[in-house]
Amino acid sequence: MTLLTTWPESGPETLVRRTSDPAEIAAALAPIGVRYEQWPVREDVPADADSDTVFAAYGAEIEKLNAQEGFTTVDVLGLHPSDDPEYPAKAKAARAKFLQEHTHDDDDEVRFFVSGSGIFYLHVGGEVHAVLCEKGDLLGVPRGTTHWFDMGTSPSFTAIRFFHEEDGWVGNFTGDRIADRFPDFDTIDAGYQRDRATA
């Protein structure tokens, strides 16, 4: 299950939309060219699975998407809390980088969440769409779309990344601090989990 929250770009004081219905989310994102779909979840895949395990579990889905979209490079990115003394610094640096609003000139940003969660914030057409993705969610953000990503203060996710270009992730940062005006991952996720617990 995922969550879409939409506000005016001026700030979160006015709520435009809030839904966790997958069909509504896909329909709301389609007009801005964003692909949202859900793949079957492989419950036997550990949250911190390595690349070989992930590719073996989702090979059919990966091949199908590659054939549809012409991706040339696929990899697996994971970040999970651990006893590694370097984890806090790695997590802080990774979060700070992606929290800056940016675009991509040469490639789409396509991610499938194998485990965990994160939020893509899409700044399009005078609105900000916060898409909380969880295990089983695939999101495709078209090149040129202004956005940022928040993985929270304690990142925990594994995602498959798809690229058309071998250069991989190359961001063009706008310098706009718009992300500071909107609820972060921890705030949205905490509210979402409370709502789910009481539903």
- Residue ranges of the annotated binding site for Fe(2+) are 102, 104, 109, 147
The annotation places the binding site for Ni(2+) at: 102, 104, 109, 147
Helix (H, G, I), strand (E, B) or coil at 108: coil
The annotation places the binding site at: 102, 104, 109, 147
**Please, what is the end-to-end C-alpha distance for the chain in angstroms?**
13
Q: Which residue has the tokens 């706009």?
A: 176
- Using CA atoms, how far residue 57 sits from 37, 52, 80, in Å, is 18, 9, 20
Helix (H, G, I), strand (E, B) or coil at 180: helix
Distance CA 12, CA 34 (A): 21
Distance CA 54, CA 58 (A): 6
Distance CA 8, CA 49 (A): 38
